[in-house]
Chain A
């Protein structure tokens, strides 16, 4: 017999196999949860299939799939029920009988078929780029199955593809029993996961990292938390927990309204404060500190050329950032104070604080950049100094034994190493001082952000802790 299997595996590794059957050929479309009302599910799928106008035959139950790492044979009962064990990727595990598998659903071909060789199922998931057309004949198949193979129409495979497309998109929620893709970790949740082209990989990378970047935003996080609270209020049956969350939300909104009133009352003052905070504290003070370090303050004698280099380049970053945003501070502050904050405040004080948190994060990006640069340089220098110090003493780190051993260096090796060591050791204080400066600045920024986070956490986690 011949079993057509979807190329990217089945989602539910323990469930009922459904698909089309023609003679000795079974075409597996998907697997559904065992507990599901199969009749209803099949009826929906058949409607969908006929609605596309491409069906030939009805979707029916083919058998069962169960997750197993050990190869098993396909058993067939009197009604020719399939019983197939699948692996982590939703692919059939190697079998010992004479049945053959053919993968369908190539990304390039219309109906690209790929024969699954015996004991090869575990490698199919990793080599989905194979596009060779294999013979559909296999050893041990009967002549009847051969004839059925020839009668297998493209329409039927089209139907399978259409149904699988249906099952993979958001409408799958309407069809009961179709489990989400998180059960099968090898199948990525991104719609582009099945494609192996470079652009698809880049898109996956962007999507995943965009989510990471988005998570950095306090407003985004706070929004999700509040939506979760609303869900808790609406979903939970416990009246006590609902009351706690509701009170918390109410208090938050009241405080937000109070904050809005305050903002409206002192808009001008806050406007000036914002402008001064940005131009004075984030630009001028930092620039002044760089110049102060360059002038040998309090007997701190730094290496002059290196100090000039840091002063020039880091100062350029700071000033450029200031020149970019200072002319627009009026407009930015008016948007934030007159429109954004008052409106957000009506949704709660926590959201307003989250917006302020994000504004501080965005306005201190230049400081963060300078801190990352100096920190990277300092760490790199310290790491190289540790190796050069070993060379200075005539030792070397033994990777095998994880210890420092004596080593006989050549004269030129000693010369080069000593040269670099001496230069690095004399330049280290300059690098450390500039790193410390930006470390201190970042400490202040993070402390401010952390203070806001504490207020937000207290109001958010209070009812969560009370509810246990």
Chain B
């Protein structure tokens, strides 16, 4: 006799429950067997990473925090008159030009320069447009930007800028691609394969830009506009926003390339940016640099990001468990093209 569905007697039947759907069973639809999740087992945990590797992986965040500290220091210097608008503006222009040429020359030799030839109806974007259009538009809008928040007190401006910079840090892209030397070797291999075979494909080294990176840049730019409205003159506004564009749009690209060049370059870059930020931090000349409030805050931030964070991550690894089941796990095999194949 088949027990009624949903009744408690169905559980006492002799017929054991099976994990099949194609056969009617004398169990209710919501029956939970005793062996539920018994198939899961703990897989052997991955090896604990080395602390030094974790510290190295935290360096991009440190670099970014140093850049933000540099930006805020220069803003403060413009505000109190320690730096002039023209000096900041010319420094930004010169460093941008130098950085642009260094990138073009340095990365082209590695063969990693993206092919800018046109592949469709639209003309290719030139590298000159981002260099010409923003300064031109900025010079036109600087008078408007200078009076944008004139009616708002500074008590509202600082938290607003702080929130926007926090969003910027939260959504920034700290990703570092594969080692540049490894990428260079792969490209050489691909070109050799092309020469030997009739295959004429194109290795598109396109890196997808994440959505959050756009939002990160726009947040930083909004923060800089908000801060620039506190400055005394139009020239100051122009210089600060130009600085923001170069630091938050141009610098991450350069820094990523340097990080990909090798670990040593990454450490060197981090050290130089931290030292530069430290040197410009506002401080009273009569006091020691290390014991001013901005310096202490910056040092604490570096400590948390570079030392405490990796330590906590390293220490918490012990609770990391990986569970798996008895099902077939798909293994992706990348077919390696061998010589003689087309």
- Listed in ascending order, the chain A residues whose CB lies under 8 Å from chain B are 296, 301-305, 391-395, 406, 408-412, 414-419, 421-423, 426-427
Q: Most chain-B CB neighbours within 10 Å: which of A391, A417, A419?
A: A419
The reply to whether A393 and B225 contact each other, CB–CB distance below 8 Å, is no
CA distance A304 to B144 in the complex (A): 11
Interface readout for B49-76 with A: 1 if CB under 8 Å, 0 if not? 0000000000000000000000000000
Given A304-B151, A406-B211, A422-B148; A412-B221 close (CB under 8 Å): no
Min CB distance, B247 to chain A, in Å? 13
The reply to whether A303 and B147 contact each other, CB–CB distance below 8 Å, is yes
The reply to whether A423 and B144 contact each other, CB–CB distance below 8 Å, is yes
Min CB distance, B238 to chain A, in Å? 12
Q: Which residues of B contact A301 (CB under 8 A)?
A: 151-152
Q: Look across to chain B and name the residue whose beta carbon is closest to the beta carbon of A303.
A: B151
Q: Which residues of A contact B214 (CB under 8 A)?
A: 393-394, 408-409, 414
Q: Which residues of A contact B215 (CB under 8 A)?
A: 392-394
The reply to whether A423 and B145 contact each other, CB–CB distance below 8 Å, is yes
- The number of residue pairs between A and B whose CB atoms lie closer than 8 Å in the complex comes to 83
Q: Look across to chain A and name the residue whose beta carbon is closest to the beta carbon of B130.
A: A412
Q: Which residues of A contact B125 (CB under 8 A)?
A: 410
The reply to whether A415 and B145 contact each other, CB–CB distance below 8 Å, is no
The reply to whether B222 and A415 contact each other, CB–CB distance below 8 Å, is no
Q: Which residues of B contact A416 (CB under 8 A)?
A: 133-134, 137
Would you call the interface of chain A mostly helix, strand, loop, or mixed? helix
Given A303-B151, A414-B214; A422-B222 close (CB under 8 Å): yes
Min CB distance, B29 to chain A, in Å? 37
CA distance A410 to B209 in the complex (A): 10
Q: Which residues of B contact A423 (CB under 8 A)?
A: 141, 144-145, 148, 225
Q: Which residues of A contact B149 (CB under 8 A)?
A: 426
Min CB distance, A388 to chain B, in Å? 10
**Which of A410, A417, A418 is B130 in contact with, Cβ under 8 Å?**
A410
Q: Could you list some 30 contacts between A and B, CB below 8 A?
A: A296-B151, A302-B151, A303-B147, A303-B150, A304-B147, A305-B147, A392-B215, A392-B218, A393-B215, A394-B218, A395-B211, A406-B211, A408-B209, A409-B214, A410-B125, A411-B249, A412-B129, A412-B133, A412-B134, A415-B130, A415-B133, A415-B137, A415-B245, A416-B133, A419-B138, A421-B218, A421-B222, A422-B225, A423-B144, A427-B148
Q: Look across to chain A and name the residue whose beta carbon is closest to the beta carbon of B143.
A: A305
CA distance A416 to B151 in the complex (A): 24
Q: Look across to chain B and name the residue whose beta carbon is closest to the beta carbon of A406.
A: B211
Q: Which residues of A contact B172 (CB under 8 A)?
A: none
CA distance A410 to B124 in the complex (A): 12
B217 contacts the other chain (Cβ, under 8 Å)?
yes
Min CB distance, A255 to chain B, in Å? 54
Min CB distance, A186 to chain B, in Å? 43
Q: Look across to chain B and name the residue whose beta carbon is closest to the beta carbon of A296.
A: B151
Q: Which residues of B contact A421 (CB under 8 A)?
A: 218, 222
Given A394-B214, A409-B214; A418-B222 close (CB under 8 Å): yes
**Which of A305, A393, A408, A422 is B226 in contact with, Cβ under 8 Å?**
A422
Q: Which residues of A contact B138 (CB under 8 A)?
A: 419
Q: Look across to chain A and name the residue whose beta carbon is closest to the beta carbon of B221.
A: A418
Q: Which residues of B contact A410 (CB under 8 A)?
A: 125, 129-130
Q: Which residues of B contact A303 (CB under 8 A)?
A: 147-148, 150-151
The reply to whether A394 and B211 contact each other, CB–CB distance below 8 Å, is yes
Q: Which residues of B contact A392 (CB under 8 A)?
A: 215, 218, 222
CA distance A427 to B249 in the complex (A): 26
Q: Which residues of B contact A409 (CB under 8 A)?
A: 214
The reply to whether B245 and A304 contact each other, CB–CB distance below 8 Å, is no
Q: Look across to chain A and name the residue whose beta carbon is closest to the beta carbon of B137.
A: A416
Q: Which residues of A contact B221 (CB under 8 A)?
A: 414-415, 418-419, 422
CA distance A407 to B214 in the complex (A): 10
Given A302-B151, A412-B134, output 15 extra A-B contacts at Cβ < 8 Å. A296-B151, A303-B148, A304-B151, A305-B147, A392-B215, A393-B214, A406-B211, A409-B214, A411-B249, A412-B129, A412-B133, A414-B217, A414-B218, A415-B137, A415-B221
CA distance A411 to B100 in the complex (A): 15
7 residue pairs, one from A and one from B, having the closest CB atoms: A394-B214, A301-B151, A412-B130, A418-B221, A418-B218, A422-B225, A412-B133
Q: Look across to chain B and name the residue whose beta carbon is closest to the beta carbon of A391.
A: B218
Q: Which residues of B contact A411 (CB under 8 A)?
A: 130, 217, 245, 249
CA distance A395 to B245 in the complex (A): 20
Min CB distance, B168 to chain A, in Å? 12
CA distance A408 to B212 in the complex (A): 11
CA distance A55 to B333 in the complex (A): 100
Min CB distance, B110 to chain A, in Å? 22
Q: Which residues of A contact B226 (CB under 8 A)?
A: 422
CA distance A152 to B262 in the complex (A): 101
